[in-house]
Amino acid sequence: MLSSVALFWSCQKDNGLKGSQSPTSSGDSITNKWKLVYNKNDNFTCLLAIGNSIIAGTDNITYPGGLYISSDSGNTWDTITNGLPDFVRISCLVAIGKDIYAGVPGLYRSSDTGKQWISISGDLSPYTITDIAISGNNILAATSRGVYVSKNDGKHWVQKNSGLSYYFSVYALAIKKDSIYATTDKGVFLSTDTCNTWTPINTGFPKNTMISSLVIKGNKFIAGAASGRIYTSNDNGLHWSNNGTKLNANVRSLIINGDSIYAVTNVYLYYSRDNGVKWDTLSNYGLSRINTYGSIAVSGHYIYAGATYGIWRKRL
């Protein structure tokens, strides 16, 4: 781990990757304030931490570019679009094993940290791709028109919406053992047969709750809603509860890093260190309030925020 809002969901998933960068002597490491490290008139919708690198995607299609990488804690950035179309709108970035997947629309994959991209779109319909997951030998794509599955490395795709509405946008995918979870306009759905059928698991949600993001931390499921509410489940998503926590806006993305969970909304960035019970803001200390935030990533000693007009960095 997904319609225009779908561009902002599922930009980074918890891959268990933790960079080994050392703190620098730049201003943010001394004052612990946010620092603008890439000042560019672009909308950074996706950030991905992989190894010691940060990869950033934008949704600007007015000029070539759209995908960038930094290997020095965000101090310098290079374009990495070899093999991609000249004008790309990055809707999601996901790292699974040694591979990076980029939704553009269409789906591309890189096995060398973005140096070269190959299309694995096959006959995939040109809907916005909001998230990617792997289940066995199957590639799963969450889109603005449900879930698509490829069993032959992207050559052929089949829509798998039995139990979902054709018109449901799917924003995030999460996998636990043989169970696949999808967040939609109408709550969370579960499949135990590789997306052939879907069952709603919405006990505890208000009716027709749009769930934008989902992460799994051990036995704890944490879901972010468009209403700003955070819901948790301790029984594999069968029952959901909210303790009154409500962030300021749509919870676009959730990521896990160690003991911390980070959340992105339109206006603020949040973190929790108690499995989503209490949330505190990360958005003061130098961040411009005029920005709309699209994504976050954590690498080494730093957290990065992708926003309108640039990328920001703060030491943890």
Tens of pLDDT, residues 67-108: 999 999 999 999 999 999 887 889 999 999 999 999 987 899
What is the percentage of the chain residues whose pLDDT exceeds 90?
67
Task: Compute the chain's Rg from CA coordinates.
Answer: 18
pTM of the predicted structure, to 2 decimals = 0.88
Give the torsion through C-alpha atoms of 107, 113, 116, 122, to 10 deg.
Answer: -20
For 81, residues 6+ apart whose C-beta sits below 8 A from its C-beta are 64, 65, 66, 67, 88, 117
Give the torsion through C-alpha atoms of 20, 174, 271, 98, to 10 deg.
Answer: 10
Query: How far, in Å, CA of 157 to CA of 260, rounded?
Result: 36
- The tens digit of pLDDT for each residue in 194-206 reads 999 999 999 999 9
Q: With 50 as the cut, is the pLDDT of residue 1 above it?
A: no
What's the pLDDT at 311? 93
Domains of the chain and CATH, by start:
5-315 (2.130.10.10)
DSSP SS3 for 166: coil
